[in-house]
């Protein structure tokens, strides 16, 4: 399994670079001007606007901007006077203030060395700004995933066991509804019903505002987590229940299940010990796909419920054309997606002993 994991990680490297390339060019091709958003004054002089564009590195060709963002700008310079300071650009003059003189060594080391640049608006490292919102997104995402599994899998098992019954038909109808309802509409309806009309649950935010500016432990603010978790988990509940039902129906027709029943084993033991473990193999495949679904859903859910997570930060960064923050969010979510699909493959070997992930073959 170790060799397989290493091989998959190596295969993910070109995928990662492909994501960075496509994402960066899409962001660059987006309409609008970040400088115009920074200064709304109609009387701003063209010289000042040009100087700001130079400081942000937006005047350079797009391929130079991409290389600087990926690799940094210190490699573009060399030490010409022997003072140990790289002061001359090898590829292009990095004139940040427009005075015609190359600036001292750039501070940007590139994302490959952990430097995602500085936010245009916040004037602080983009990674630090995004990282402080990761716990809120993990809290919401893990809660939604847990609810999806705890509700979707048992519903799928019970639907398969009672095939054609009232529960099976009702669950299938609900699965279609939950899968078809847009997340933003469901979230708004939950806010309207439980927040505005009934007033039993908060309509947004992660916790009540405190003097310290921090949130209490999660068990003290469950009510703030309920509505966004339900909104984010609804579609995944439908998906997990349908996949589990289909897998269970196939497994229940296998010979070893009939043999277990013939031996006099209880129905609960047969269903949950023999059948469910094999039925979870297709469900394991969904876990990798669930991560990008949760991340994409979090963008909408966090915005609707004013949840201070990465998804909401990404939406604000796109609207404000804060490119460093936008690309930081893109890279973070792409890495999570790649690792999620790797996790799905590894779960095959854990759930199904017949699967062997080695260097020679593959499961």
pLDDT at 60: 75
CATH number for position 220: 1.10.3720.10
Q: Domain range spanning residue 299? A: 134-308
* Nearest of 186, 162, 125, 312 to residue 245 by alpha carbon: 162
pLDDT at 150: 92
- The answer to which of 33-42, 43-52, 101-110, 295-304 has the lowest mean pLDDT is 101-110
Task: Say if 222 falls within a structural domain.
Answer: yes
Name the strand (E) or helix (H) holding 345.
helix 323-351
Task: Say if 271 falls within a structural domain.
Answer: yes
C-alpha 28/C-alpha 304 separation (Å) is 27
Position 190 pLDDT exceeds 90: yes
Task: Say if 329 falls within a structural domain.
Answer: no
pLDDT at 355: 62
Task: Say if 38 falls within a structural domain.
Answer: no
- The answer to which of 10-19, 112-121, 226-235 has the lowest mean pLDDT is 112-121
Name the strand (E) or helix (H) holding 77.
strand 77-78
Q: Which residues contact 34 (CB under 8 A, 6 or more apart)?
A: 56, 58, 120, 321, 322, 323
Task: Say if 112 falls within a structural domain.
Answer: no
Confidence of residue 100 (pLDDT cuts 50, 70, 90): very low
pLDDT at 360: 46
Q: How far is CA 111 from CA 118, 184, 288, 335, 338, in A?
A: 12, 33, 25, 13, 17
Q: What angle do CA 78, 83, 87 make, to 5 degrees?
A: 35
The number of folded domains in the chain is 1
Mean pLDDT of the chain: 79
Task: Say if 110 falls within a structural domain.
Answer: no
Q: Which residue shows structure tokens 């115009």?
A: 36
Arithmetic mean of pLDDT, 32-56:
67
Confidence of residue 121 (pLDDT cuts 50, 70, 90): confident
Task: Say if 257 falls within a structural domain.
Answer: yes
Helix (H, G, I), strand (E, B) or coil at 30: coil
pLDDT at 279: 81
C-alpha 334/C-alpha 3 separation (Å) is 23
pLDDT at 89: 43
pTM exceeds 0.85 for this model: no
pLDDT at 272: 77
* pLDDT, tens digit, 9 for 90 and up, residues 156-172: 988 988 888 899 999 99
Q: Which residues contact 154 (CB under 8 A, 6 or more apart)?
A: none
Confidence of residue 107 (pLDDT cuts 50, 70, 90): low
Position 78 pLDDT exceeds 60: no
Task: Say if 195 falls within a structural domain.
Answer: yes
């Amino acid at each position: 399994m170790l060799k397989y994991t290493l091989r998959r990680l190596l295969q993910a490297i070109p995928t990662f670079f492909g994501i960075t390339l496509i994402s960066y060019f899409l962001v660059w091709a987006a309409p609008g001007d970040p400088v115009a958003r920074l200064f709304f004054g109609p009387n701003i002089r063209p010289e000042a606007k040009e100087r700001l564009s130079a400081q942000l590195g937006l005047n350079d060709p797009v391929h130079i901007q991409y290389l600087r963002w990926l690799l940094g700008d210190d490699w573009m310079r060399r030490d010409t006077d022997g003072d140990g300071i790289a002061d001359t650009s090898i590829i292009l003059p990095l004139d940040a203030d427009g005075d015609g003189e190359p600036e001292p060594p750039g501070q940007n080391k590139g994302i490959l060395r952990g430097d995602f640049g500085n936010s245009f608006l916040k004037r602080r490292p983009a990674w630090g700004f995004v990282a402080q919102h990761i716990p809120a997104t993990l809290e919401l995402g893990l809660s939604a995933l847990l609810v999806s599994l705890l509700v979707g899998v048992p519903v799928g098992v019970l639907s398969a066991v009672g095939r054609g019954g009232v529960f099976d038909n009702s669950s299938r109808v609900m699965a279609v509804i939950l899968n078809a309802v847009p997340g933003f509409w469901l979230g708004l309806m939950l806010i309207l019903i439980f927040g505005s009309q009934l007033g039993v649950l908060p309509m947004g935010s992660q916790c009540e505002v405190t003097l310290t500016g921090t949130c209490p432990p999660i068990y003290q603010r469950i009510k703030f987590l309920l509505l966004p978790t339900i909104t984010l988990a609804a579609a995944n509940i439908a998906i997990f229940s349908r996949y589990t039902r289909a897998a269970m129906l196939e497994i229940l027709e296998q010979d070893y299940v009939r043999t277990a029943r013939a031996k006099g084993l209880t129905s609960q033991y047969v269903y949950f010990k023999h059948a469910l473990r094999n039925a979870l193999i297709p469900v394991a495949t969904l876990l990798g796909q669930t991560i990008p679904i949760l991340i994409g859903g979090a963008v909408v859910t966090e915005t609707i419920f004013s949840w201070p997570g990465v998804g909401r930060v990404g939406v604000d960064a796109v609207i404000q054309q804060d490119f460093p923050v936008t690309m930081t969010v893109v890279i973070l979510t792409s890495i999570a997606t790649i690792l999620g699909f790797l996790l799905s493959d590894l779960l095959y070997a854990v759930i199904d002993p017949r699967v062997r992930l080695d260097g020679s073959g593959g499961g």
